Amino acid sequence: MARLVFYHHPQAENFSLKYSSASVAETLSQREQSDESTKLIGYPFDTPVYVLYEGDSEIESAREVDFDQEWLSDRIRDLPRAGQVVAFRLVELLEAAVDVRDEDEFRLYKEFEPQKIQQALDHVSWGAPLPIVAGEVMSNLILRHSLPNANHRTGIAMLQFCIESVDPDFEMPRTHVDDDTWREWVNPYIVDSKRLITVRRNNLRFKQLEDLDVDLVERKDGIQIRLAEFELDMHWREALSEYAGQHESHCTDFAQAVLERAGRDDLLDRQGPTKQEFIA
């Protein structure tokens, strides 16, 4: 039977895996050194594994944040115009996601980090073929994780804006069955994206689990990561670069799938927008 460890604490998903060991004493020592709130789980395998989770004690609900123009302007005033335009669009999309759900149930897992939006835009191959530009816009916004939630939803919306900046008549195929459920053709892309970005940030922690004979890591939403399918034994900086590249390719494939499903093969070889055309 596969040995499975949870990436997010099963009773507190704002706590994520930080350290693992076969020694409870070593794990408790790590806990004492942590400056964050922690939780500990002992997994009763034949050879037990102890996992330390770190996180915030409180998760904000969307009701506790007022996404008004003054709030946003204070946070983006130092960004170049392109970053400001995209920040406004992203926050509007986040607000829309909140509006269709119960605000008390829509959780904000981190602070809004608008500077990461500009970083994402700086790493797009503007003017390359459209699937590459659209895929890189989506990928880089997801990788930078600037919003406190809904980064995949908003990333796909920005991919759509990117395509529409080249062809305003483009009709985006539906990506959702309902607000909580991706369509069958979209779901594999979302699931694999979440696997890649989780491995990217945690290769050394996952290597530690692999050395403890753990087979699977399960993150929230029931997404399982089979450790043997990923190269984990590399410097964390190398992992950031390696898996960012894989994620960009994955999102470029998604952009191509979107165009093909929309019946717009004519756009596959079209030149993508410049940054100025994208924000216009």
Residue keyed to tokens 């302007």: 73
Looking at the fold, whether 47 and 83 belong to one and the same domain comes out as no
- Could you tell me which residues come within 8 angstroms of residue 97 by beta carbon, excluding any fewer than 6 positions away? 106, 149, 150, 153, 154, 179
Proportion of the chain above pLDDT 90, given as a percent: 68
Residue 67 counted as domain residue: no
121-131 confidence digits (pLDDT tens): 999 999 999 99
pLDDT, mean of residues 9-19: 93
Confidence at residue 107, expressed as pLDDT on a 0 to 100 scale: 56
Looking at the fold, whether 30 and 129 belong to one and the same domain comes out as no
Residue 155 counted as domain residue: yes
Residue 68 counted as domain residue: no
CA distance 229 to 194: 15
Looking at the fold, whether 25 and 129 belong to one and the same domain comes out as no
Tally of domains in the chain = 2
Looking at the fold, whether 145 and 270 belong to one and the same domain comes out as yes
Which is more confident, 179 or 199? 199
190-216 confidence digits (pLDDT tens): 999 999 999 999 999 999 999 999 999
Residue 65 counted as domain residue: no
262-276 confidence digits (pLDDT tens): 999 999 999 999 999
Looking at the fold, whether 150 and 51 belong to one and the same domain comes out as no
Confidence at residue 187, expressed as pLDDT on a 0 to 100 scale: 95
CB of 226 closer than 8 Å to CB of 175: no
Residue 245 counted as domain residue: yes
Residue 104 scores a pLDDT above 50: no
- Choosing from 10, 25, 58, the residue where a domain stops is 58
Q: How many other C-beta atoms can be found within 10 angstroms of the C-beta atom of residue 226?
A: 11
Residue 71 counted as domain residue: no
DSSP 261: H
Residue keyed to tokens 């590399």: 234
Looking at the fold, whether 242 and 138 belong to one and the same domain comes out as yes
* pLDDT range class, residue 146, cuts 50, 70, 90: confident
Look at the chain and count its residues.
280
Looking at the fold, whether 87 and 168 belong to one and the same domain comes out as yes
75: amino acid identity, one letter: R
Looking at the fold, whether 224 and 264 belong to one and the same domain comes out as yes
35-77 confidence digits (pLDDT tens): 999 999 999 999 999 999 998 755 555 455 555 667 667 777 8
CA distance 49 to 27: 10
Residue 228 counted as domain residue: yes
CA distance 245 to 259: 21
Residue 203 counted as domain residue: yes
CA distances to 16, 23, 55, 210 from 2, in Å: 21, 21, 27, 12
CB of 82 closer than 8 Å to CB of 279: yes
Q: What is the pTM of this model?
A: 0.88
Looking at the fold, whether 122 and 225 belong to one and the same domain comes out as yes
Looking at the fold, whether 151 and 181 belong to one and the same domain comes out as yes
Looking at the fold, whether 150 and 93 belong to one and the same domain comes out as yes
Domain residues for the domain of 36 are 1-58
Looking at the fold, whether 109 and 39 belong to one and the same domain comes out as no
